[in-house]
Structure 1
Protein backbone atom coordinates (compact mmCIF):
# COMPACT_ATOMS: atom_id res chain seq x y z
CA UNK A 1 0.00 0.00 0.00
CA UNK A 2 1.76 3.12 -1.22
CA UNK A 3 0.77 6.76 -0.95
CA UNK A 4 2.14 10.18 -1.79
CA UNK A 5 4.05 11.79 1.09
CA UNK A 6 5.31 15.35 1.27
CA UNK A 7 8.82 15.88 2.68
CA UNK A 8 11.08 18.95 2.97
CA UNK A 9 13.12 17.50 0.08
CA UNK A 10 10.13 16.99 -2.19
CA UNK A 11 7.24 14.55 -2.44
CA UNK A 12 7.58 10.77 -2.35
CA UNK A 13 5.41 8.52 -4.53
CA UNK A 14 7.13 5.14 -4.26
CA UNK A 15 7.26 2.63 -7.08
CA UNK A 16 5.74 -0.76 -6.40
CA UNK A 17 7.82 -3.95 -6.17
CA UNK A 18 6.80 -5.12 -9.66
CA UNK A 19 7.88 -1.81 -11.21
CA UNK A 20 11.20 -1.92 -9.33
CA UNK A 21 11.80 -5.47 -10.55
CA UNK A 22 11.08 -4.49 -14.16
CA UNK A 23 13.67 -1.71 -13.88
CA UNK A 24 16.41 -3.56 -12.00
CA UNK A 25 16.20 -7.18 -13.14
CA UNK A 26 17.57 -6.68 -16.69
CA UNK A 27 20.60 -4.67 -15.52
CA UNK A 28 21.24 -7.09 -12.66
CA UNK A 29 21.20 -10.02 -15.06
CA UNK A 30 23.67 -8.31 -17.39
CA UNK A 31 26.04 -7.53 -14.52
CA UNK A 32 25.50 -10.76 -12.62
CA UNK A 33 24.93 -8.65 -9.51
CA UNK A 34 22.40 -9.26 -6.73
CA UNK A 35 19.80 -6.80 -5.52
CA UNK A 36 16.97 -6.99 -3.01
CA UNK A 37 13.83 -5.10 -2.12
CA UNK A 38 14.25 -4.15 1.53
CA UNK A 39 12.38 -2.20 4.21
CA UNK A 40 8.71 -2.70 4.99
CA UNK A 41 8.02 -4.45 1.72
CA UNK A 42 10.57 -7.14 2.60
CA UNK A 43 8.82 -7.67 5.91
CA UNK A 44 5.43 -7.97 4.24
CA UNK A 45 6.80 -10.45 1.71
CA UNK A 46 8.01 -12.63 4.57
CA UNK A 47 4.76 -12.35 6.53
CA UNK A 48 2.63 -13.05 3.47
CA UNK A 49 0.22 -10.13 3.57
CA UNK A 50 0.19 -6.32 3.49
CA UNK A 51 -0.53 -4.69 6.83
CA UNK A 52 0.62 -1.05 6.66
CA UNK A 53 1.24 1.86 4.30
CA UNK A 54 4.65 2.56 2.75
CA UNK A 55 6.02 6.07 2.33
CA UNK A 56 8.97 4.83 0.23
CA UNK A 57 10.52 1.68 -1.22
CA UNK A 58 14.07 0.55 -0.46
CA UNK A 59 16.35 -1.31 -2.86
CA UNK A 60 19.49 -2.81 -1.32
CA UNK A 61 22.67 -3.08 -3.39
CA UNK A 62 26.16 -4.07 -2.38
CA UNK A 63 28.39 -1.02 -2.51
CA UNK A 64 30.64 -2.66 -5.06
CA UNK A 65 27.60 -3.05 -7.37
CA UNK A 66 26.26 0.48 -6.93
CA UNK A 67 26.53 1.41 -10.60
CA UNK A 68 23.89 -1.20 -11.33
CA UNK A 69 21.44 1.50 -10.26
CA UNK A 70 22.71 4.00 -12.82
CA UNK A 71 22.41 1.33 -15.51
CA UNK A 72 18.91 0.34 -14.36
CA UNK A 73 17.72 3.97 -14.15
CA UNK A 74 19.74 5.64 -16.95
CA UNK A 75 17.42 8.60 -17.51
CA UNK A 76 16.57 9.25 -13.88
CA UNK A 77 18.05 11.68 -11.37
CA UNK A 78 20.18 10.13 -8.61
CA UNK A 79 20.87 12.10 -5.42
CA UNK A 80 23.30 10.84 -2.79
CA UNK A 81 22.46 11.48 0.86
CA UNK A 82 25.67 12.82 2.34
CA UNK A 83 25.73 12.70 6.16
CA UNK A 84 24.13 14.27 8.09
CA UNK A 85 21.30 14.12 5.58
CA UNK A 86 21.81 16.59 2.73
CA UNK A 87 21.18 15.50 -0.86
CA UNK A 88 23.58 16.14 -3.71
CA UNK A 89 23.63 14.92 -7.32
CA UNK A 90 25.36 11.58 -7.80
CA UNK A 91 27.49 11.95 -10.91
CA UNK A 92 27.43 9.24 -13.54
CA UNK A 93 30.32 6.86 -12.89
CA UNK A 94 31.16 8.35 -9.46
CA UNK A 95 31.89 5.73 -6.81
CA UNK A 96 30.18 6.47 -3.50
CA UNK A 97 32.42 5.60 -0.56
CA UNK A 98 31.47 4.12 2.82
CA UNK A 99 30.19 7.44 4.19
CA UNK A 100 27.18 7.38 1.86
CA UNK A 101 24.52 4.74 2.45
CA UNK A 102 21.41 6.18 0.78
CA UNK A 103 20.56 7.44 -2.71
CA UNK A 104 17.21 8.97 -3.65
CA UNK A 105 16.02 8.48 -7.22
CA UNK A 106 13.33 10.12 -9.34
CA UNK A 107 12.47 10.18 -13.05
CA UNK A 108 13.05 13.94 -13.40
CA UNK A 109 13.35 17.27 -11.53
CA UNK A 110 9.59 17.82 -11.37
CA UNK A 111 8.74 14.22 -10.51
CA UNK A 112 8.31 12.79 -7.01
CA UNK A 113 10.99 10.59 -5.48
CA UNK A 114 10.22 6.97 -6.34
CA UNK A 115 13.08 4.68 -5.21
CA UNK A 116 15.58 4.82 -2.34
CA UNK A 117 18.82 2.87 -2.73
CA UNK A 118 20.59 1.42 0.29
CA UNK A 119 24.30 0.59 -0.11
CA UNK A 120 25.80 -2.17 2.00
CA UNK A 121 29.24 -3.67 2.45
CA UNK A 122 30.71 -7.00 1.36
CA UNK A 123 34.03 -8.81 1.42
CA UNK A 124 34.29 -11.53 -1.18
CA UNK A 125 31.25 -13.78 -0.83
CA UNK A 126 30.34 -12.35 2.60
CA UNK A 127 27.94 -9.53 3.39
CA UNK A 128 29.14 -7.40 6.30
CA UNK A 129 26.93 -5.11 8.33
CA UNK A 130 28.01 -1.50 8.17
CA UNK A 131 26.88 -1.15 11.79
CA UNK A 132 29.00 -3.99 13.15
CA UNK A 133 31.70 -5.70 11.12
CA UNK A 134 31.32 -8.89 13.17
CA UNK A 135 27.79 -9.38 11.85
CA UNK A 136 28.22 -11.26 8.59
CA UNK A 137 26.59 -13.88 6.42
CA UNK A 138 26.96 -15.27 2.91
CA UNK A 139 25.75 -12.89 0.21
CA UNK A 140 23.88 -15.87 -1.23
CA UNK A 141 21.87 -16.07 2.02
CA UNK A 142 20.80 -12.42 2.17
CA UNK A 143 17.63 -12.97 0.18
CA UNK A 144 14.48 -14.96 0.73
CA UNK A 145 11.96 -16.52 -1.62
CA UNK A 146 8.81 -14.60 -2.47
CA UNK A 147 5.65 -16.01 -0.88
CA UNK A 148 3.62 -15.23 -4.01
CA UNK A 149 6.06 -16.75 -6.46
CA UNK A 150 6.59 -13.59 -8.53
CA UNK A 151 10.37 -13.99 -8.48
CA UNK A 152 11.06 -10.55 -6.97
CA UNK A 153 14.09 -10.80 -4.63
CA UNK A 154 13.69 -9.34 -1.18
CA UNK A 155 15.91 -9.09 1.87
CA UNK A 156 15.66 -11.93 4.39
CA UNK A 157 13.38 -10.79 7.25
CA UNK A 158 15.89 -11.45 10.01
CA UNK A 159 18.43 -9.18 8.28
CA UNK A 160 15.83 -6.46 7.79
CA UNK A 161 14.79 -6.65 11.44
CA UNK A 162 18.44 -6.41 12.47
CA UNK A 163 18.63 -3.00 10.81
CA UNK A 164 15.31 -1.88 12.27
CA UNK A 165 16.38 -2.77 15.83
CA UNK A 166 18.94 0.00 16.31
CA UNK A 167 16.43 2.80 16.94
CA UNK A 168 13.00 1.27 16.36
CA UNK A 169 10.17 3.56 15.38
CA UNK A 170 6.49 2.61 15.80
CA UNK A 171 6.40 1.11 12.31
CA UNK A 172 9.52 -0.95 13.12
CA UNK A 173 7.86 -2.31 16.25
CA UNK A 174 4.84 -3.15 14.11
CA UNK A 175 7.04 -4.95 11.59
CA UNK A 176 8.80 -6.89 14.34
CA UNK A 177 5.55 -8.01 15.96
CA UNK A 178 4.18 -9.19 12.62
CA UNK A 179 7.35 -11.03 11.59
CA UNK A 180 8.44 -12.88 14.74
CA UNK A 181 5.69 -15.53 14.44
CA UNK A 182 6.89 -16.55 10.94
CA UNK A 183 10.61 -16.71 11.71
CA UNK A 184 12.13 -20.16 11.84
CA UNK A 185 14.29 -21.24 14.77
CA UNK A 186 17.52 -20.63 12.78
CA UNK A 187 16.30 -17.18 11.75
CA UNK A 188 15.50 -16.27 15.34
CA UNK A 189 18.89 -17.55 16.50
CA UNK A 190 20.72 -15.54 13.84
CA UNK A 191 18.83 -12.37 14.67
CA UNK A 192 19.33 -12.82 18.42
CA UNK A 193 23.08 -13.31 17.96
CA UNK A 194 23.39 -10.39 15.53
CA UNK A 195 21.53 -8.04 17.88
CA UNK A 196 23.76 -9.07 20.77
CA UNK A 197 26.93 -8.49 18.76
CA UNK A 198 25.88 -5.10 17.42
CA UNK A 199 23.73 -3.58 20.13
CA UNK A 200 23.93 -5.72 23.28
CA UNK A 201 20.66 -6.66 25.04
CA UNK A 202 17.60 -5.16 23.34
CA UNK A 203 13.86 -5.13 24.14
CA UNK A 204 13.40 -7.53 21.22
CA UNK A 205 15.51 -10.32 22.72
CA UNK A 206 12.81 -11.95 24.88
CA UNK A 207 10.54 -12.51 21.85
CA UNK A 208 13.36 -14.33 20.03
CA UNK A 209 13.99 -17.03 22.63
Structure 2
Protein backbone atom coordinates (compact mmCIF):
# COMPACT_ATOMS: atom_id res chain seq x y z
CA UNK A 1 0.00 0.00 0.00
CA UNK A 2 1.26 3.46 -0.79
CA UNK A 3 2.49 6.17 1.55
CA UNK A 4 -0.46 8.32 0.47
CA UNK A 5 -2.84 5.81 2.03
CA UNK A 6 -1.32 6.43 5.46
CA UNK A 7 -0.48 2.78 5.93
CA UNK A 8 2.66 1.45 7.54
CA UNK A 9 3.74 -1.55 5.50
CA UNK A 10 5.75 -4.32 7.10
CA UNK A 11 7.42 -6.78 4.76
CA UNK A 12 8.06 -10.22 6.28
CA UNK A 13 9.84 -12.84 4.16
CA UNK A 14 7.98 -15.99 3.25
CA UNK A 15 10.37 -18.81 4.17
CA UNK A 16 9.65 -22.43 3.44
CA UNK A 17 5.93 -21.81 3.24
CA UNK A 18 5.72 -20.93 6.95
CA UNK A 19 6.01 -17.98 9.30
CA UNK A 20 6.85 -18.23 12.97
CA UNK A 21 4.53 -16.07 15.03
CA UNK A 22 1.26 -14.63 13.81
CA UNK A 23 -1.41 -12.50 15.39
CA UNK A 24 -4.64 -10.55 15.10
CA UNK A 25 -5.59 -7.05 14.28
CA UNK A 26 -8.38 -5.57 16.44
CA UNK A 27 -5.78 -3.91 18.70
CA UNK A 28 -3.64 -2.75 15.79
CA UNK A 29 -4.09 0.61 14.14
CA UNK A 30 -6.62 -0.17 11.40
CA UNK A 31 -4.59 1.62 8.73
CA UNK A 32 -1.53 -0.55 9.29
CA UNK A 33 -0.86 -3.04 6.50
CA UNK A 34 1.26 -6.15 6.98
CA UNK A 35 2.44 -7.66 3.70
CA UNK A 36 3.65 -11.27 3.64
CA UNK A 37 4.12 -13.21 0.43
CA UNK A 38 2.19 -10.45 -1.34
CA UNK A 39 -0.80 -10.80 1.01
CA UNK A 40 -1.98 -8.05 3.38
CA UNK A 41 -2.54 -9.84 6.70
CA UNK A 42 -4.81 -7.05 7.92
CA UNK A 43 -7.29 -8.21 5.27
CA UNK A 44 -7.25 -11.81 6.46
CA UNK A 45 -10.60 -12.88 7.92
CA UNK A 46 -11.29 -13.76 11.52
CA UNK A 47 -12.78 -17.11 12.50
CA UNK A 48 -12.33 -17.16 16.27
CA UNK A 49 -12.23 -20.38 18.21
CA UNK A 50 -15.09 -20.94 20.64
CA UNK A 51 -14.78 -20.61 24.42
CA UNK A 52 -14.93 -24.42 24.62
CA UNK A 53 -12.01 -24.66 22.19
CA UNK A 54 -10.05 -22.11 24.23
CA UNK A 55 -10.64 -24.28 27.28
CA UNK A 56 -9.33 -27.32 25.43
CA UNK A 57 -6.25 -25.49 24.14
CA UNK A 58 -5.30 -24.09 27.57
CA UNK A 59 -6.63 -26.84 29.83
CA UNK A 60 -3.09 -28.00 30.67
CA UNK A 61 -1.60 -24.48 30.82
CA UNK A 62 0.62 -24.50 33.93
CA UNK A 63 -0.13 -20.92 34.99
CA UNK A 64 -3.14 -18.65 35.53
CA UNK A 65 -5.15 -17.60 32.46
CA UNK A 66 -8.62 -16.22 31.85
CA UNK A 67 -11.08 -16.01 28.97
CA UNK A 68 -11.49 -12.28 28.41
CA UNK A 69 -13.19 -9.78 26.09
CA UNK A 70 -16.85 -9.81 25.17
CA UNK A 71 -17.18 -13.53 25.83
CA UNK A 72 -16.19 -12.91 29.46
CA UNK A 73 -19.10 -10.49 29.80
CA UNK A 74 -21.55 -12.87 28.13
CA UNK A 75 -20.56 -15.74 30.41
CA UNK A 76 -21.03 -13.46 33.42
CA UNK A 77 -24.44 -12.36 32.17
CA UNK A 78 -25.38 -15.95 31.40
CA UNK A 79 -26.65 -15.48 27.86
CA UNK A 80 -25.45 -14.63 24.38
CA UNK A 81 -26.51 -11.14 23.31
CA UNK A 82 -24.17 -10.08 20.46
CA UNK A 83 -21.82 -11.39 17.81
CA UNK A 84 -18.07 -11.61 18.39
CA UNK A 85 -15.41 -10.81 15.80
CA UNK A 86 -12.58 -12.28 17.89
CA UNK A 87 -11.81 -14.04 21.17
CA UNK A 88 -9.34 -13.01 23.86
CA UNK A 89 -7.28 -14.84 26.48
CA UNK A 90 -5.53 -12.93 29.26
CA UNK A 91 -2.14 -14.14 30.51
CA UNK A 92 0.40 -12.69 32.92
CA UNK A 93 3.63 -11.41 31.42
CA UNK A 94 5.68 -13.67 33.65
CA UNK A 95 3.99 -16.66 31.94
CA UNK A 96 3.65 -15.46 28.35
CA UNK A 97 6.35 -17.74 26.90
CA UNK A 98 4.28 -20.72 28.00
CA UNK A 99 1.72 -19.74 25.37
CA UNK A 100 4.10 -20.97 22.68
CA UNK A 101 3.97 -24.40 24.29
CA UNK A 102 0.18 -24.25 24.57
CA UNK A 103 -0.12 -23.49 20.85
CA UNK A 104 2.59 -25.66 19.24
CA UNK A 105 2.79 -25.39 15.49
CA UNK A 106 0.69 -22.21 15.47
CA UNK A 107 1.86 -18.91 14.05
CA UNK A 108 2.22 -16.00 16.48
CA UNK A 109 2.62 -12.28 15.82
CA UNK A 110 3.37 -9.63 18.41
CA UNK A 111 1.66 -6.25 18.18
CA UNK A 112 4.47 -3.74 18.57
CA UNK A 113 3.28 -0.20 19.34
CA UNK A 114 2.31 2.10 17.72
CA UNK A 115 0.54 -0.48 15.58
CA UNK A 116 2.92 -2.85 13.82
CA UNK A 117 2.71 -6.61 13.66
CA UNK A 118 5.91 -8.60 13.63
CA UNK A 119 6.76 -12.27 14.13
CA UNK A 120 7.12 -13.46 17.70
CA UNK A 121 10.20 -15.66 17.67
CA UNK A 122 10.37 -18.94 19.55
CA UNK A 123 11.69 -18.29 23.06
CA UNK A 124 11.63 -14.50 22.68
CA UNK A 125 10.76 -12.58 25.84
CA UNK A 126 8.50 -9.81 24.61
CA UNK A 127 9.19 -6.22 25.71
CA UNK A 128 6.88 -4.57 28.22
CA UNK A 129 5.32 -2.41 25.50
CA UNK A 130 3.81 -5.47 23.78
CA UNK A 131 0.44 -6.46 25.25
CA UNK A 132 -1.19 -8.31 22.34
CA UNK A 133 -0.29 -11.47 20.43
CA UNK A 134 -2.32 -12.63 17.47
CA UNK A 135 -2.44 -16.33 16.62
CA UNK A 136 -3.60 -18.70 13.91
CA UNK A 137 -2.92 -22.40 13.24
CA UNK A 138 -1.02 -21.92 9.98
CA UNK A 139 -0.35 -19.81 6.88
CA UNK A 140 -3.39 -18.82 4.88
CA UNK A 141 -5.76 -19.61 7.74
CA UNK A 142 -8.01 -17.06 9.48
CA UNK A 143 -6.98 -15.46 12.75
CA UNK A 144 -8.33 -17.61 15.58
CA UNK A 145 -7.16 -16.22 18.92
CA UNK A 146 -5.75 -13.09 20.56
CA UNK A 147 -3.58 -13.25 23.67
CA UNK A 148 -3.47 -10.24 25.98
CA UNK A 149 -0.51 -9.87 28.33
CA UNK A 150 -0.77 -8.06 31.67
CA UNK A 151 1.89 -7.34 34.26
CA UNK A 152 2.09 -8.67 37.80
CA UNK A 153 4.13 -8.12 40.92
CA UNK A 154 4.39 -11.13 43.21
CA UNK A 155 0.84 -12.12 44.14
CA UNK A 156 -0.71 -9.00 42.56
CA UNK A 157 -2.03 -8.19 39.10
CA UNK A 158 -1.08 -4.74 37.78
CA UNK A 159 -3.47 -2.89 35.48
CA UNK A 160 -2.32 -1.19 32.35
CA UNK A 161 -1.72 1.57 31.81
CA UNK A 162 -2.25 2.48 35.50
CA UNK A 163 0.29 0.57 37.63
CA UNK A 164 -1.26 1.97 40.81
CA UNK A 165 -4.32 -0.19 40.17
CA UNK A 166 -3.67 -3.62 41.64
CA UNK A 167 -5.50 -6.58 43.09
CA UNK A 168 -4.63 -10.17 44.03
CA UNK A 169 -4.18 -12.47 41.06
CA UNK A 170 -6.43 -14.97 42.82
CA UNK A 171 -9.30 -12.46 42.55
CA UNK A 172 -9.00 -11.80 38.80
CA UNK A 173 -11.58 -14.30 37.66
CA UNK A 174 -14.16 -16.95 38.34
CA UNK A 175 -14.72 -20.49 36.98
CA UNK A 176 -17.72 -21.66 35.01
CA UNK A 177 -19.33 -24.96 36.06
CA UNK A 178 -17.12 -26.64 33.44
CA UNK A 179 -14.00 -25.11 35.00
CA UNK A 180 -13.35 -22.46 32.34
CA UNK A 181 -11.55 -19.51 34.01
CA UNK A 182 -13.24 -16.22 33.09
CA UNK A 183 -11.97 -12.70 33.71
CA UNK A 184 -13.98 -10.82 36.34
CA UNK A 185 -16.55 -8.53 34.69
CA UNK A 186 -15.40 -5.38 36.47
CA UNK A 187 -11.84 -5.85 35.17
CA UNK A 188 -13.03 -6.45 31.62
CA UNK A 189 -15.28 -3.41 31.83
CA UNK A 190 -12.34 -1.35 33.13
CA UNK A 191 -10.41 -2.16 29.96
CA UNK A 192 -13.48 -1.49 27.82
CA UNK A 193 -13.96 1.88 29.53
CA UNK A 194 -10.63 3.17 28.22
CA UNK A 195 -11.74 3.31 24.58
CA UNK A 196 -15.49 2.86 24.45
CA UNK A 197 -16.93 1.43 21.23
CA UNK A 198 -20.55 0.60 20.52
CA UNK A 199 -20.03 -3.07 21.48
CA UNK A 200 -18.53 -1.96 24.80
CA UNK A 201 -21.68 0.01 25.59
CA UNK A 202 -23.75 -3.10 24.80
CA UNK A 203 -21.56 -5.16 27.15
CA UNK A 204 -21.77 -2.53 29.91
CA UNK A 205 -25.57 -2.31 29.60
CA UNK A 206 -25.89 -6.09 29.88
CA UNK A 207 -23.52 -6.49 32.83
CA UNK A 208 -24.45 -3.46 34.93
CA UNK A 209 -27.66 -4.83 36.55
CA UNK A 210 -25.77 -7.97 37.64
CA UNK A 211 -22.68 -6.36 39.16
CA UNK A 212 -22.42 -6.64 42.92
CA UNK A 213 -21.93 -3.56 45.07
CA UNK A 214 -18.29 -4.50 45.53
CA UNK A 215 -17.76 -4.89 41.79
CA UNK A 216 -19.38 -1.51 41.09
CA UNK A 217 -17.26 0.20 43.75
CA UNK A 218 -14.08 -1.27 42.29
CA UNK A 219 -15.00 -0.09 38.79
CA UNK A 220 -15.91 3.40 40.03
CA UNK A 221 -12.49 3.63 41.65
CA UNK A 222 -10.72 2.28 38.54
CA UNK A 223 -12.19 4.33 35.68
CA UNK A 224 -11.58 7.99 34.85
CA UNK A 225 -13.23 10.65 37.02
CA UNK A 226 -15.17 12.14 34.08
CA UNK A 227 -16.24 8.84 32.55
CA UNK A 228 -19.88 8.71 31.35
CA UNK A 229 -20.39 5.33 33.05
CA UNK A 230 -19.82 6.73 36.55
CA UNK A 231 -23.30 8.14 36.97
CA UNK A 232 -24.98 4.87 36.04
CA UNK A 233 -22.63 2.86 38.25
CA UNK A 234 -23.50 5.02 41.24
CA UNK A 235 -27.23 4.61 40.62
CA UNK A 236 -27.27 0.89 39.88
For residues 53-90 of structure 1, give each alpha carbon's deviation from its aligned partner in whole angstroms, at most 9, with x where no partner exists.
00000000001100121010011000001112211110
Which residue is 2:212 aligned to?
184
Query: What TM-score do the two structures reach when normalised by structure 1?
Result: 0.91
Distance 1:117 1:9, change over 3 A: farther
Which segments of structure 1 move beyond 6 Å, counting only runs of 4 or more? Answer: none
- d(CA) in 2 for partners of 1:97 and 1:86? 14
- d(CA) in 1 for partners of 2:226 and 2:175? 30
- d(CA) in 1 for partners of 2:230 and 2:136? 38
- d(CA) in 1 for partners of 2:84 and 2:114? 23
Aligned partner of 1:12 among 46, 49, 65? 46
Q: CA deviation at 1:97?
A: 1.4
Which residue is 1:70 aligned to?
100
* 2:233 counterpart of 1:208: yes
Which residue is 1:114 aligned to?
144
Which residue is 2:185 aligned to?
157
- d(CA) in 1 for partners of 2:41 and 2:139? 15
* 2:168 counterpart of 1:138: yes
Aligned length: 196
Higher-helix-fraction structure? 1
* 2:157 counterpart of 1:127: yes
Q: CA deviation at 1:134?
A: 1.2
Gaps of 5+ in 2: 1-25, 27-39
Structure of higher CA gyration radius: 2
For residues 71-115 of structure 1, give each alpha carbon's deviation from its aligned partner in whole angstroms, at most 9, with x where no partner exists.
100110000011122111100100011110100000001111100
Aligned partner of 2:70 among 40, 57, 63? 40
Query: For the aligned residues, what is the CA RMSD?
Result: 1.5
Q: CA deviation at 1:9?
A: 4.3
Q: CA deviation at 1:131?
A: 1.3
Which residue is 2:221 aligned to?
193
Gaps of 5+ in 1: none
- d(CA) in 2 for partners of 1:111 and 1:183? 38
For residues 101-158 of structure 1, give each alpha carbon's deviation from its aligned partner in whole angstroms, at most 9, with x where no partner exists.
1000000011111000000010000001111111111000000232xx1211110000
Aligned partner of 2:111 among 65, 81, 91? 81
Aligned partner of 2:135 among 89, 96, 105? 105
Query: What TM-score do the two structures reach when normalised by structure 2?
Result: 0.80
- d(CA) in 2 for partners of 1:9 and 1:75? 22
Please state whether the residue corresponding to 1:88 is helix, strand or coil: strand
Please state whether the residue corresponding to 1:59 is helix, strand or coil: strand
Q: CA deviation at 1:11?
A: 1.2
